[in-house]
Amino acid sequence: MEVILKQEVEFVGSAHELVSVKPGYARNFLIPRGLAILATESAKKVHAENTRQRAHKELKLRENAEALVAKLGKITLTIGAKAGENGRIFGSVNTVQISEALAKEGFEVERKQITLAADHVKELGSYVAKVKLHKDVITEVKFEVVAE
């Protein structure tokens, strides 16, 4: 029996995917819980149209992300922090400060899109953060932590 999944179901498929499952599993589990709908001819046509529109939107988002990657590769951020004599800073630098520094440069990037090699940066120096702009587009941003 073919169904169209409304959301991701473990070991079955991801959201908006047309999958074939056993009839009992579809009737007794997926459809009653709202995880899937029956794949009739009209539902398949709607699904195909939605997939086409989603692909078009996805392409535009990816193009915007790739354009942003070209700009982000050229900059180096400077983040000021209070530091002691031995080069250790009071507190730490995390994704929030990097996001704020990017916003000052004119790039709107959420902190959830930024990952550091270590959770927190606790010393002065140069570091690299990864920025995930799209599920397929990831870039690195260089930043330097300096004493204020």
pLDDT of residue 135: 81
Give the per-residue pLDDT at 19.
Answer: 96
SS3 33: coil
Encoded tokens for 129: 């953060």
What integer pLDDT is reported at residue 36 of this predicted model? 97
Read off the pTM. 0.67
What kind and span of H or E run contains 88?
Answer: strand 88-93
Give all domains of the chain, ordered by start, each with its CATH number.
2-61 (3.40.5.10), 69-147 (3.10.430.100)
Residue 120: count of CB within 10 angstroms of its CB = 11
CA 50, distance to chain mean position in Å, is 22
Average pLDDT along the chain, 148 residues, taken 10 residues at a time: 95 94 97 97 96 93 90 89 88 91 91 86 91 89 90
pLDDT at 121: 87
CA dist 99 and 101 (Å) reads: 5
pLDDT of residue 85: 85
The pLDDT score that the predictor gives to residue 35 is: 97
